[in-house]
Amino acid sequence: MATTAQIKNFIAQIAPLIQTEAKARGYKVASPIIAQACIESGFGLSSLAAKYHNYFGMKCGSTWKGASVNMKTKEEYKVGTLTTIRDNFRAYSSMTEGVKGYFDFINTTRYANLKTAATAREYLERIKADGYATSSTYVNTNMNAVEKYGLTEWDNFTAGAAQIVAASQTKPAAKYTVGKTYTLKNNMYVRTEPRGRKKTLAELTADGRKNAYKDGAGAALLKKGTRVTVQEVKENADGSTWVRIPSGYVCAVDSGGTVYIA
């Protein structure tokens, strides 16, 4: 499992490359692709990523003429059942080439709809529907990474990459006061406790339900821009800050220093 430092370093290395390539090739968002790289590669620690610079789990297919490696992988052909298989995966010479290889891979008619995706969730839902991955939780798993690590900052193609990296690596002095009202900077899951179960829409307060929607798995997401009143503040051992609002607990600052409530 990747440490907080390893996660920060991996995102700092690969996110600017993905953002640059996404902008150059006409995509509207980079955050879901960064999330894919994080999840598929275990933040760069998997053998396929560390040795062969394939950060997206891309198989060779019939058209690939480059280097390859045969490795084990798990596929979810039947929901809830993982099947171990061996397959040939594309291999690259560097992180830069691995990122370019991903965009080459999706540069087909099959994935043409990805270019018009305007949000991270829309992109992930489309690529899942296009058959990129078999995991039944693929969209939500990657969206969790987008939200947890504040990856939507990379969707601003006019911002300097160095500025975004510096901001993400600096632990902000965020302070929260009980009774004060704050604003959500991202869509946020509401949980039963810090890092606990995600609540459903029916479990939120009446006001909460007015400002929320259900994700694909039925969990409630409070919308970005929602005003929330803090009833309790909890500082976790991992460095994250959670606040209790009338509907439940939401993450205010994650362990990497990303602020979600301001």
Could you tell me where the beta strands, DSSP code E, fall in 24-155?
Answer: 68-78, 81-90
CA distances from 46 to 28, 54, 70, 83 (A): 28, 9, 14, 19
How many structural domains compose the chain? Answer: 2
pLDDT at 83: 75
pLDDT at 237: 59
Query: Is the residue at 103 inside a domain?
Result: yes
53 lies in the same domain as 8? yes
35 lies in the same domain as 149? yes
pLDDT at 32: 97
Query: Is the residue at 262 inside a domain?
Result: no
84 lies in the same domain as 156? yes
Residue 164's φ and ψ, nearest 5 degrees, are: -65, -45
Q: HSE of 186 in the Cβ direction (CA atoms, 13 Å)?
A: 26
Q: Tell me the per-residue pLDDT of 87-109, one tens digit each, with 9 for 90 and over.
A: 899 999 999 999 999 999 999 99
| Contact yes or no for 258/168 (Cβ under 8 A) | yes
Count of CB atoms within 10 A of residue 218's CB?
10
> 67: domain CATH number?
1.10.530.10
Could you give the CA distance from residue 10 to residue 106 in angstroms, rounded to a whole number?
Answer: 22
pLDDT at 5: 85
Residues (pLDDT < 50) of the chain are 171-173
Q: Domain span at residue 207?
A: 181-253
